Chains A and B, each alone.
Chain A
Amino acid sequence: MEWEAVIGLEIHSQLATNSKIFSGASTTYGAEPNTQACAIDLGMPGVLPVVNKEVVRMAAMFGLAIEAEMGEYSVFARKNYFYPDLPKGYQISQFELPIVGKGHLDIELEDGTTKRIGVTRAHLEEDAGKSLHEDFHGMTGIDLNRAGTPLLEIVSEPDMRSAKEAVAYMKKMHSLVTYLGISDGNMQEGSFRCDANVSVRLKGEEEFGTRTEIKNINSFRFVERAIEHEIERQIEILESGGEIIQETRLYDADKDETRSMRSKEEANDYRYFPDPDLLPVVMDQAVLDAARDSMPELSDARKARFIDQYGLRGEDAGQITASREMADFFEAALEVSGGSDAKIVANWVIGEFSGALNREGLSVQEAPVSAAMLGQLVKRILDNTISGKIAKEVFEAMWQGEGDADVIIEQKGMKQVTDTGAIEVMVDEVLANNPKQVENYRNAEEQKRGKMIGFFVGQIMKASKGKANPALVNELLKKKLDS
């Protein structure tokens, strides 16, 4: 039997506003507990919500980016349930008329083909607070700083067929919201997280199987693993004649498994109804025009431009433009380098720089090497101050915080030797010390000589501690050997 997974994602993306969606309290992360929870966020008696203008603009930008249908009115509704981190006993969300309707997002699959994933809707809502389960005399502590932080909940169609596709979709969505500047996308801080709906069915079947929902996954790696495990679990159950129970499951990263969240799951009855404290939000042409005007260049457009303007290979351009930070980094480094050779800058960004980031698990912003520093390093390669090989040493030194490229080159005396006389002395010395190899070279056929010259180059580079200009070395060697 061949099984097929059916996956849909609900992504919660915090919107990068200064103040909360319905109050003037700050959204800054990491403040002392309950110091950023104002009377509105606390659900004090008599308080009322007023909608933050910025969230409407951000939702409009998002809607335009995924080419979504957007109705003229959207309505806030109350989702009623009791939980200690939900101060009012209801969450203000959107139900029947979401701000963003049907749209889509194209993802690239591993085989290089493109797949279109449907977006069912995206709606605005407020985040809840946090329950802290450390022991406070056997009690739970509630911090409501996060309560009221704006969220855009992006609901996909069940269009994904593997964990890999789900990750590709989540990454593309992450790239989109950060490109748009509507979310900081910080997954550690919970700014970007998702719930996955997973079911399996026999390949070729039309109907969906019973699905489970995996809650609150906050890393790309976990999404892939959680979904993979859930698919395996479901297939195992079905193949042994069992039945899937519709339930909410939690991914336990430590044990690398999903487990049922509530044993006695009670059917939720959220009693949605339009929030009478709020009026319909208008999304008219003026709002859309303003959003369109504030749209930055998005990844696909930027990739095309990088290929066109800088002559990058498609794959390289795709890799660099996958995140806005990386693409911004590239362009800034290119400018500092003098702008003449985009390919070498691209190689450094994709190679050494991305490698170092991955090695240390850092984001572009957290990197010890700035775009200006990398640009300067490339500039020194291009003006022959240093060789590419030395440049790698300089990069490592920059990464270790030893200063910028010029300082390190100067301090370590890494400047390339371009003095013909000095190199000639080294060439003569090497030739004199290796008469056998010189003889072999001269007796060899023309086409083999190219390879053999490498030996002499290596000896000279070694003698010069890598500082001799390789082009000059080659030129002089050839002149002397062939004469």
Chain B
Amino acid sequence: MHTKTLTELSAMLQAGEVSSVALTEHFLDRIEQYDQDLNSFITVTREEALEAARAADERIQAGNAGPLTGVPIAHKDIFCTDGVRTSCGSRMLDNFIAPYDATVVEQFKQAGAVVLGKTNMDEFAMGSSNETSFYGPVKNPWDRDRVPGGSSGGSAASVAARLAPAATGTDTGGSIRQPAALCGITGLKPTYGRVSRWGMIAFASSLDQGGPMAQSAEDCALMLEVMSGFDEKDSTSVNEAVPDYRTQLSQGLQGLKIGLPKEYFSEGLGPEVEAVVRAAIEEYKKLGAEIIEISLPNTHLAVPAYYVVAPAECSSNLSRFDGVRYGYRCDDPKDLQDLYERSRGEGFGEEVKRRIMIGAYALSAGYYDAYYLKAQKVRHLISDDFRKAFEEVDVIMGPTAPSTAFKLGEKADDPVTMYLSDIYTIAVNLAGLPGMSVPAGFSEGMPVGLQIIGNYFEEARLLNVAHQYQQVTDWHRQIPEAFKGQS
């Protein structure tokens, strides 16, 4: 059963070929069997999942089920889940039982989806390798000496290993697309404002966006229909109708204009990754697409701008974790300053502390203009690059990441090198555009992702473009040998 896509499982449930309880038990058993080693889950909610599965079976029986009713999924542990520990991968929230549901959690609940548990992640979504998690690193199912990418590494690894048919993720600088690429699954970061941020623990508010991580574009479409939409609780949520993403999947790509930014194929890109991506582009030519070379001249400024804007916002967003109302409090604080400094010093890991300090510095008196304001201006330049490009092309394609998954510990001591692994994904967040990563092949046994970037609110087009490719390739159906198991 675990080799099936979300769409296939949905059809089986609707047809009564399998019960949600049986399906849920199957995935829970797989988690039990494999996850000790993989470490893709922080919390497994077995009891709640089985209860939801029983309710879903009744709903299917009663004939008022939706396409996701009874389908097991997993949530990144950044989404608040009422009554369930929501840790955000941090010691700070190790004891935090969320008192309410994130809108995304609520949407899947309404749809009748069954939540298997909460997936591992980089602490407060700050990382590109899942090594900053308080709960230990996640391993890449394709090679357990390697990282799964981050920050949604647990979601990516669990889907790649088929411990969950699909999962939610969040993407602030590539945190859905990069792990999707490194684990060989399909992931979509929607347009900023498309998916509600209510209850999604904030890292960098003007960049954060939740999205689906699944086996195929079709599965992502199914999930996105549930996840997106206007939410009055989020001031940055956009009141724009949610299209029927699935019906648009089947359109042909004849005449599609694909832009290839020359900056995405320059130094820093691994030759084998480039070869895989170029081969995928060839596939698109066969499907009738037209390839146009374009330029996004400010690409080299995206990572520097990001590492001012994101830390600045995070330094403020994470001030609420102060040991007063919830979360970690140090033992025997001797006074208020001690309470703050030790609770935060002990509750946060190194990378989080580094970013808070960078952000505090960039916003502080005398540095604001040179760092924060400058970065916001550069953000404008980057956004303009895309605006101009989309006057010429329908979608932009390139690699998702410059290399395949690196070894655990390889970049852990060198933050700047780590930051550069998001070089192709970050600009999309700064501009607020939708972007996808699609499995496009392998390099030395490790998956390579093709990134597809669309114009604002053109998720339907992205999904269509990805789906058509997945009709003629089967990279997305590959499962790592160790996790094939009996279906």
Task: Enumerate chain A residues within 8 angstroms of B360, measured Cβ to Cβ.
Answer: 271
Bound CA–CA A47/B201 (angstroms)? 8
How many whole Å from A38's CB to the nearest CB in chain B?
Answer: 10
How many whole Å from B482's CB to the nearest CB in chain A?
Answer: 35
Task: Enumerate chain A residues within 8 angstroms of B318, measured Cβ to Cβ.
Answer: 89
Within B109-161, the residues touching A (CB, 8 Å) are: none
Interface string of A277-288 (1 = CB under 8 A from B): 111000000000
The reply to whether B96 and A45 contact each other, CB–CB distance below 8 Å, is yes
Interface string of A208-246 (1 = CB under 8 A from B): 000000000000000000000000000000000000000
A271 touches which one: B199, B204, B205, B363 (CB < 8 A)?
B363
The reply to whether B235 and A48 contact each other, CB–CB distance below 8 Å, is yes
A452 at the interface (CB under 8 A from B): no
Task: Enumerate chain A residues within 8 angstroms of B306, measured Cβ to Cβ.
Answer: none
Bound CA–CA A272/B88 (angstroms)? 26
The reply to whether B322 and A89 contact each other, CB–CB distance below 8 Å, is yes
Task: Enumerate chain B residues within 8 angstroms of A397, measured Cβ to Cβ.
Answer: none
A42 at the interface (CB under 8 A from B): yes
The reply to whether A44 and B326 contact each other, CB–CB distance below 8 Å, is yes
A46 touches which one: B202, B313, B340 (CB < 8 A)?
B202
Which of B96, B100, B200, B235 is packed against the most chain A CB atoms within 10 Å?
Answer: B235
A30 at the interface (CB under 8 A from B): no
A190 at the interface (CB under 8 A from B): no
Task: Enumerate chain A residues within 8 angstroms of B363, measured Cβ to Cβ.
Answer: 80, 271-273
Bound CA–CA A84/B372 (angstroms)? 27
Which of B93, B99, B233 is packed against the most chain A CB atoms within 10 Å?
Answer: B233
How many whole Å from A53's CB to the nearest CB in chain B?
Answer: 12
**Total chain A interface residues with beta-carbon distance under 8 A:** 28
Within B67-121, the residues touching A (CB, 8 Å) are: 79-80, 86, 88, 93, 96, 98-100, 102
Task: Enumerate chain A residues within 8 angstroms of B198, measured Cβ to Cβ.
Answer: 46-48
Bound CA–CA A271/B318 (angstroms)? 14
B260 at the interface (CB under 8 A from A): no
A interface majority secondary structure: loop
Task: Enumerate chain B residues within 8 angstroms of A277, measured Cβ to Cβ.
Answer: 202, 205, 235-236
The reply to whether A45 and B205 contact each other, CB–CB distance below 8 Å, is no
By beta carbon, the residue of chain A nearest B312 is A273
The reply to whether B99 and A89 contact each other, CB–CB distance below 8 Å, is no
By beta carbon, the residue of chain A nearest B341 is A82
Task: Enumerate chain B residues within 8 angstroms of A46, measured Cβ to Cβ.
Answer: 79-80, 98, 102, 197-202
The reply to whether A278 and B319 contact each other, CB–CB distance below 8 Å, is no
B416 at the interface (CB under 8 A from A): no
The reply to whether B319 and A89 contact each other, CB–CB distance below 8 Å, is yes
A279 touches which one: B93, B197, B235 (CB < 8 A)?
B235
A49 touches which one: B206, B235, B320 (CB < 8 A)?
B235
When A45-B96, A45-B201, A89-B322 are in contact, do A273 and B316 touch as well, CB less than 8 Å? Answer: yes
The reply to whether A80 and B325 contact each other, CB–CB distance below 8 Å, is no
The reply to whether A82 and B235 contact each other, CB–CB distance below 8 Å, is no
The reply to whether B235 and A45 contact each other, CB–CB distance below 8 Å, is no
Bound CA–CA A82/B88 (angstroms)? 22
When A271-B360, A273-B316 are in contact, do A84 and B336 touch as well, CB less than 8 Å? Answer: yes
How many whole Å from B384's CB to the nearest CB in chain A?
Answer: 20
**Total chain B interface residues with beta-carbon distance under 8 A:** 44
A51 at the interface (CB under 8 A from B): yes
Interface string of A139-183 (1 = CB under 8 A from B): 000100000000000000000000000000000000000000000
Task: Enumerate chain B residues within 8 angstroms of A8, measured Cβ to Cβ.
Answer: none
Within A32-87, the residues touching B (CB, 8 Å) are: 39, 42-51, 78, 80, 82, 84, 87
Bound CA–CA A272/B372 (angstroms)? 11
B324 touches which one: A50, A90, A142, A269 (CB < 8 A)?
A142
Bound CA–CA A477/B120 (angstroms)? 105
How many whole Å from A135's CB to the nearest CB in chain B?
Answer: 15
A88 at the interface (CB under 8 A from B): yes
By beta carbon, the residue of chain B nearest A83 is B336
B232 at the interface (CB under 8 A from A): yes
A276 at the interface (CB under 8 A from B): yes
Which of A48, A50, A51, A84 is packed against the most chain B CB atoms within 10 Å?
Answer: A48
B316 touches which one: A39, A47, A89, A142 (CB < 8 A)?
A89
How many whole Å from A22's CB to the nearest CB in chain B?
Answer: 9
B365 at the interface (CB under 8 A from A): yes
The reply to whether A44 and B235 contact each other, CB–CB distance below 8 Å, is no
Bound CA–CA A82/B324 (angstroms)? 11
Task: Enumerate chain A residues within 8 angstroms of B372, measured Cβ to Cβ.
Answer: 273
Task: Enumerate chain B residues within 8 angstroms of A39, measured Cβ to Cβ.
Answer: 99-100
Bound CA–CA A281/B129 (angstroms)? 39
Bound CA–CA A380/B93 (angstroms)? 73
Task: Enumerate chain A residues within 8 angstroms of B205, measured Cβ to Cβ.
Answer: 276-277
When A44-B99, A51-B235 are in contact, do A276 and B325 touch as well, CB less than 8 Å? Answer: no
How many whole Å from B478's CB to the nearest CB in chain A?
Answer: 35
By beta carbon, the residue of chain A nearest B309 is A276
A80 touches which one: B96, B202, B319 (CB < 8 A)?
B319
When A51-B235, A271-B364 are in contact, do A90 and B316 touch as well, CB less than 8 Å? Answer: yes
Within B176-230, the residues touching A (CB, 8 Å) are: 197-202, 204-206
Bound CA–CA A46/B79 (angstroms)? 8
The reply to whether B316 and A271 contact each other, CB–CB distance below 8 Å, is yes
Task: Enumerate chain B residues within 8 angstroms of A80, measured Cβ to Cβ.
Answer: 315-316, 319, 363
The reply to whether A45 and B86 contact each other, CB–CB distance below 8 Å, is yes
By beta carbon, the residue of chain B nearest A268 is B365
Within B430-479, the residues touching A (CB, 8 Å) are: none
The reply to whether A48 and B88 contact each other, CB–CB distance below 8 Å, is no
Bound CA–CA A87/B324 (angstroms)? 8
By beta carbon, the residue of chain B nearest A79 is B316
Task: Enumerate chain A residues within 8 angstroms of B240, measured Cβ to Cβ.
Answer: none
Bound CA–CA A46/B322 (angstroms)? 15
The reply to whether A78 and B316 contact each other, CB–CB distance below 8 Å, is yes
When A39-B99, A82-B340 are in contact, do A89 and B320 touch as well, CB less than 8 Å? Answer: yes
Bound CA–CA A87/B316 (angstroms)? 12
How many whole Å from A52's CB to the nearest CB in chain B?
Answer: 12
When A269-B364, A273-B372, A276-B206 are in contact, do A87 and B235 touch as well, CB less than 8 Å? Answer: no
Within A106-126, the residues touching B (CB, 8 Å) are: none
B48 at the interface (CB under 8 A from A): no
B368 at the interface (CB under 8 A from A): yes
The reply to whether B316 and A48 contact each other, CB–CB distance below 8 Å, is no
Task: Enumerate chain B residues within 8 angstroms of A44, measured Cβ to Cβ.
Answer: 80, 99-100, 325-326
How many whole Å from B127's CB to the nearest CB in chain A?
Answer: 18
B283 at the interface (CB under 8 A from A): no
How many whole Å from B285's CB to the nearest CB in chain A?
Answer: 40
B282 at the interface (CB under 8 A from A): no
B32 at the interface (CB under 8 A from A): no
How many whole Å from B392's CB to the nearest CB in chain A?
Answer: 30
The reply to whether A45 and B80 contact each other, CB–CB distance below 8 Å, is yes
Which of B93, B363, B368 is packed against the most chain A CB atoms within 10 Å?
Answer: B363
How many whole Å from B463's CB to the nearest CB in chain A?
Answer: 27
Task: Enumerate chain A residues within 8 angstroms of B232, measured Cβ to Cβ.
Answer: 50
Task: Enumerate chain B residues within 8 angstroms of A50, measured Cβ to Cβ.
Answer: 232-235
Task: Enumerate chain A residues within 8 angstroms of B336, measured Cβ to Cβ.
Answer: 84
The reply to whether B365 and A269 contact each other, CB–CB distance below 8 Å, is yes
The reply to whether A42 and B325 contact each other, CB–CB distance below 8 Å, is yes
Bound CA–CA A276/B202 (angstroms)? 11
Task: Enumerate chain B residues within 8 angstroms of A45, measured Cβ to Cβ.
Answer: 80, 86, 88, 93, 96, 98, 201-202, 320-321, 326
Query: Could you write out 23 A-B pairs with CB less than 8 Å apart?
Result: A39-B99, A44-B80, A44-B325, A45-B80, A45-B201, A45-B320, A45-B321, A46-B202, A47-B199, A48-B197, A48-B234, A49-B235, A80-B319, A87-B320, A88-B319, A89-B319, A89-B320, A271-B315, A271-B316, A271-B363, A276-B236, A277-B205, A278-B235
Which A-B residue pairs are the 8 nearest by beta carbons? A89-B319, A271-B363, A276-B205, A276-B206, A43-B320, A46-B199, A45-B201, A88-B320
18 additional A-B residue pairs with CB within 8 Å, beyond A46-B79, A46-B80: A44-B80, A45-B201, A45-B326, A46-B102, A48-B233, A50-B235, A82-B322, A84-B322, A84-B336, A88-B319, A89-B322, A90-B316, A269-B364, A271-B316, A271-B360, A271-B368, A276-B205, A277-B235
